[in-house]
Amino acid sequence: MDLRLPGVPHRGPTHSLPFAALVGTALGGAALVAAGQLGADDPRLVAALAAGVGAFGVCAHLLGDVITPSGVPLFWPVGDSYSVSLTTADSTAWNYGLFVLGVGATAAAAAVATRVV
């Protein structure tokens, strides 16, 4: 998605921790309003979950990009880009491996969440 935003460079502000916080805040706010209008038992819990999922999703993407040589500006607009240069972005093995890791982590989180609630 960030490849198509006019005037926003790829791996620029959308690849930073401040952007992750912005996404989490926006999704949490939208969920709070929606949950309140839909009569949820605890709109704040719904909002917290949405905020966490939004911020976590962006952070997971940042972790995937920080392992490439291009890196990411984690603290944009301050500081440099960070990279650990483990693999290139077009590595089939790494991309499939991270996909499987993400699916597994999501399944584990869902399993834990259903036991907690």
What's the distance, CA 80 to chain centroid? 20
Query: Is residue 2 within 8 Å of residue 15, measured between CB atoms?
Result: yes
Average pLDDT of 63-86? 94
State the pTM of this model. 0.85
Write down the pLDDT at residue 69: 95
Q: What is the pLDDT of residues 5-55, one digit of tens each?
A: 888 888 899 999 999 999 999 999 999 999 999 999 999 999 999 999 999
Query: Is residue 94 within 8 Å of residue 67, measured between CB atoms?
Result: yes
Task: List all residues 6 or more positions away from 80 whose beta carbon is below 8 Å from its beta carbon.
Answer: 73
Write down the pLDDT at residue 6: 85
Write down the pLDDT at residue 117: 57
